[in-house]
Amino acid sequence: MEAKQILDYCLSSLNGTVLVESWGEKGIFYNPGLVLKRGVYVLTVKEKDGDNDKASNLDRTGIYRVNLGLRKSTFQKMYGKIPARPAAGGVVDMDCDFTALDIIIPHPVYAWMGWVSVLNPSKQTFERLKPLIQEAYEFSVEKFKKRK
């Protein structure tokens, strides 16, 4: 799959979402009516390494990573624990190959917040990702209501 297909799916399937491009990534935010400056993150697509996020080796040609924030209870069901927050520039302490393609894994930096990621998901993996995207969307709606 192409990153654009995933972003288009979110924008067409998740009411009240907008696309924001910043910090070298594209983000889907829940922000109906553009009430907040940005909105609340649902999902991001990152296509290059950043100063504090190099574990996925995104500077490889054609590699991108989809990232989404789940409820911590869901993350724990998937991976058994919430890792400690890593130091700046560090990686969470979890037994994962953060460079592996097409596998839903903890986010290398933000797993401590319940975030998961997948590099270059196939159509089959994207189908498994859809319920997680729905949860990330519903979670962002809850957070939005608290901020508004």
Beta bridge partners of 43: 28, 68
Q: Is 130 exposed, middle or buried (0-12, 13-18, 19+ CB in 10 A)?
A: exposed
Report the distance separating Cα 64 and Cα 71, nearest Å.
Answer: 23
pLDDT at position 121, please? 98
Give, as one character, the DSSP assignment of residue 81.
S
| pLDDT tens track for 40-78 | 999 999 999 988 899 999 999 999 999 999 999 999 999
Report the distance separating Cα 56 and Cα 139, nearest Å.
Answer: 25
In a 3-state reduction of DSSP, which class is residue 142?
A: helix
pLDDT at position 23, please? 79
Largest Cα–Cα distance of the chain, in whole Å? 41
Q: What are phi and psi of 87, to 5 degrees?
A: -65, 160
Average pLDDT, the chain: 96
118-139: average pLDDT? 98
pLDDT at position 22, please? 87
pLDDT at position 7, please? 98
End-to-end CA distance of the chain: 35
| pLDDT tens track for 93-114 | 999 999 999 999 999 999 999 9
Give, as one character, the DSSP assignment of residue 24.
T
Which pair of structure tokens corresponds to residue 89? 């520039």
| pLDDT tens track for 79-91 | 999 999 999 889 9
Whole-structure pTM over 0.85, yes or no? yes
Q: Are 102 and 122 in contact (CB under 8 A)?
A: yes
pLDDT at position 101, please? 98
Comparing 147 with 114, the larger pLDDT belongs to 114
